[in-house]
């Protein structure tokens, strides 16, 4: 239909607007144009990114440094010492790693042997795109060595075996969640190779440059606030 419609009727309301006499009614698409422009602007405007900071307490100093740099850039950093109030669920907090845009993982020897840290790793690995959502900051450079990777697998196998032996001293009716904990340790051992391979396959920046590298990466992905 042509944009200009000749109205030869008297006192006819077209589209809710009163039109009288021989007038030309111009149909403009301001709303569509405005809507389209708004959508384009929204797509071009970076969203408010959230970053989960996963680390071992032994590496608190490194975590502090990275958090300051990211916060200065306007990023929302989710961290246990601030976002886990007293008496709140630690488990729920660790599971929230899946809800953030990216997870910065401070990979150290203590981290890879920590139940809590590896629980967070197991959670983020449930996401199909976890490889793209983790930003490792490697402190333990030995993880690039295959023999060292095997040591971490062996560590969790040993942890599971020790736990299983301890469980055998408890009557089955009193074990409650113990089998679940054992299963989790076995899952960590089974997933360790895949996780370390995913970390080692990345061009991970030096820890001294990690903050700036994370910001540059998020800017490239349009996740950095203006």
DSSP symbols for 101-153:
SEEEEEE-HHHHT-HHHHHHHHHHTTSTTHHHHEEEEES-GGGGSHHHHHHHH
Query: Which one has a higher pLDDT value, 49 or 170?
Result: 170
At how many degrees (to 10) do helices 60-72 and 210-220 cross?
40
- d(C-alpha 157, C-alpha 199), whole Å: 20
- Residue of 195, 200, 192, 201 lying closest to 151 (CA atoms): 192
What is the per-residue pLDDT for 159? 98
pTM: 0.79
Q: Residues 20-33, buried b or exposed e (16+ Cβ, 10 A)? A: eeeeeeeeeeeeee
Report pLDDT for 49: 85
CB 105 within 8 A of CB 111: yes
Distances from the Cα of 166 to the Cα of 19, 113, 116, angstroms: 88, 19, 20
Q: What is the pLDDT of residue 7?
A: 44
Q: Say yes or no to pLDDT of 43 above 70.
A: no
pLDDT in tens, 115-162: 999 999 999 999 999 999 999 999 999 999 999 999 999 999 999 999
CATH top class, domain 50-220: alpha beta
In the chain, where the domains are located: 4-44, 50-220
Q: What is the pLDDT of residues 20-40, one digit of tens each?
A: 444 444 544 445 455 555 455
Report, as an integer, the average pLDDT of 170-181.
Answer: 97
Condensed to tens digits (0 to 9), the pLDDT of residues 76-103 reads 999 999 999 999 999 999 999 999 999 9
């Amino acid at each position: 239909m042509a944009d200009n419609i000749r109205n030869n009727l008297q006192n006819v309301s077209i589209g809710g607007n009163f039109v009288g006499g021989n007038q030309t009614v111009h149909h403009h698409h301001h709303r569509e144009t405005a809507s389209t422009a708004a959508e384009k602007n929204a797509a071009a405007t970076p969203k408010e990114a959230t970053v989960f900071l996963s680390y071992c307490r032994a590496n608190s100093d490194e975590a502090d440094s990275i958090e300051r740099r990211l916060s200065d850039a306007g990023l929302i950093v989710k961290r246990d010492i601030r976002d886990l109030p007293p008496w709140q669920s630690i488990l729920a907090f660790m599971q929230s790693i899946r809800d953030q845009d990216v997870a910065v993982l401070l990979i150290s020897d203590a981290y890879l042997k920590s139940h809590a840290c590896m629980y967070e790793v197991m959670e983020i690995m449930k996401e199909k795109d976890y490889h793209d959502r983790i930003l490792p900051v490697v402190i333990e450079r030995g993880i690039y060595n295959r023999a060292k990777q095997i040591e971490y697998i062996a560590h969790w196998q040993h942890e599971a075996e020790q736990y299983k032996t301890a469980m055998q001293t408890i009557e089955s009716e009193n074990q409650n969640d113990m089998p679940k904990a054992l299963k989790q340790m076995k899952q960590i051992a089974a997933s360790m190779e895949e996780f370390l391979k995913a970390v080692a396959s990345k061009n991970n920046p030096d820890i001294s440059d990690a903050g700036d590298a994370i910001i540059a990466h998020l800017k490239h992905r349009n996740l950095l606030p203006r």
